[in-house]
């Protein structure tokens, strides 16, 4: 008799309920090996208990003892005396349960990522707002401080961690963005206007540093010229 053909929906339903899956924290060979050992151990215990009970009725037993054993050793009594331990699968789930877990995990991850992005977006807005609000000598002093700390990298940043005020938080955000941290960079990319404002501030800070570098270089050249004149005057 030919087997009844099943529709694709029926096959999928059977696959979800009948097939099982082992998660990644076990290797592909872990479950089959342990399952074989468990079955062998249970079967061995069952055989030993059966042997202990049936040993009384083996050949060589006296006829009087056989009649006494026959009265006590019935099928019901044997089943009660020897019970096979029930095996339970651990570390495996049905395919349907695996799919359900993955869907739930995917929904949780999507919500978690959205909340994380909102937090970094808020941090980026606050940092850029603080940076663009600086002006005059306060801006120059902050740019000098940022240049010193960014050149010294993380060792100098220990002085601003944990961030105590808006300037420290803005400085730490500037360090992470300059280092290429994808969370801060992505927060800027999600807001083009904010990204443009941040780039304009960075360009202004670089111009301030270039102006100070030129001023220091000019001052150094002037000092060098004065020393050369004095040296020439002493020789003459």
Same domain, 110 and 205: yes
Asked, for residue 203, whether it belongs to a domain, the answer is: yes
Residue 140 CA to chain centroid, in angstroms?
40
Domains held by the chain: number: 2
Asked, for residue 69, whether it belongs to a domain, the answer is: no
User: For the chain, what percent of residues have pLDDT higher than 90?
Assistant: 20
pLDDT > 70? residue 179: yes
Same domain, 107 and 218: yes
What range defines the domain where residue 155 resides?
101-235
Instruction: Report the mean per-residue pLDDT for the chain.
Output: 79
pLDDT tens digits for 9-24? 888 888 888 887 776 5
pLDDT tens digits for 27-70? 656 667 777 888 888 888 888 877 777 666 555 555 455 444 44
Same domain, 124 and 221: yes
pLDDT > 90? residue 85: no
Q: How far apart are CA 107 and CA 109, in angstroms?
A: 5
Asked, for residue 91, whether it belongs to a domain, the answer is: no
Least reliable range by pLDDT among 69-83, 128-142, 144-158, 163-177: 69-83
Q: Which of 90, 94, 89 is nearest to 14 (CA)?
A: 94
Same domain, 154 and 37: no
pLDDT > 60? residue 195: yes
Local confidence band at 156 (pLDDT 50, 70, 90 cut-offs) = low
pLDDT > 60? residue 76: no
Instruction: Report the half-sphere exposure of 72 (CA within 13 A, side-chain side).
Output: 9
Asked, for residue 63, whether it belongs to a domain, the answer is: no
Q: What is the mean pLDDT of residues 156-168?
A: 68
Q: What is the mean pLDDT of residues 134-159?
A: 78
pLDDT of residue 66: 45
Q: 201 near 128, Cβ under 8 Å? A: yes
pLDDT > 80? residue 128: yes
Same domain, 105 and 50: no
Same domain, 222 and 121: yes
Asked, for residue 178, whether it belongs to a domain, the answer is: yes
DSSP-derived secondary structure letter, 134: -
Asked, for residue 119, whether it belongs to a domain, the answer is: yes
Same domain, 110 and 39: no
Q: 32 near 107, Cβ under 8 Å? A: no
Q: How far apart are CA 67 and CA 70, in angstroms?
A: 5
Asked, for residue 66, whether it belongs to a domain, the answer is: no
pLDDT > 70? residue 154: no
pLDDT of residue 63: 46
Asked, for residue 11, whether it belongs to a domain, the answer is: no
Same domain, 123 and 222: yes
Local confidence band at 75 (pLDDT 50, 70, 90 cut-offs) = low
Same domain, 44 and 139: no
Same domain, 114 and 226: yes
Same domain, 52 and 106: no
As a whole number of angstroms, the longest Cα–Cα distance in the chain is 142
Same domain, 48 and 153: no
pTM for the full predicted model: 0.54
């Amino acid at each position: 008799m030919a087997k009844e053909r099943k529709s694709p929906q029926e096959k999928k339903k059977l696959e979800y309920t009948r097939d099982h899956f082992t998660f990644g924290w076990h290797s592909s060979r872990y479950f089959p090996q342990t399952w074989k050992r468990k079955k062998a151990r249970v079967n061995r215990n069952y055989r030993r208990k059966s042997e202990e009970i049936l040993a009384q009725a083996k050949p060589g037993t006296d006829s009087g003892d056989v009649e006494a054993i026959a009265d006590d050793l019935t099928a019901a009594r044997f089943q009660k005396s020897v019970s096979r331990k029930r095996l339970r699968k651990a570390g495996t789930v049905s395919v349907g349960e695996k799919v359900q877990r993955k869907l739930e995990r995917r929904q949780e991850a999507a919500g978690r990522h959205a909340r994380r992005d909102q937090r970094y977006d808020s941090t980026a807005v606050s940092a850029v707002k603080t940076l663009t609000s600086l002006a005059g000598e306060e801006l120059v002093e902050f740019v000098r401080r940022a240049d010193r700390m960014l050149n010294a990298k993380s060792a100098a940043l220990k002085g601003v961690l944990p961030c105590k005020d808006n300037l420290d938080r803005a400085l730490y955000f500037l360090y992470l963005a300059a280092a290429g941290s994808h969370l801060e960079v992505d927060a800027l990319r999600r807001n083009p206007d904010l990204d443009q404002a941040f780039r304009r501030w960075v360009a202004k800070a670089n111009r301030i540093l270039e102006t100070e570098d030129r001023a220091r270089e000019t001052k150094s050249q002037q000092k060098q010229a004065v020393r050369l004149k004095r040296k020439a005057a002493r020789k003459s």
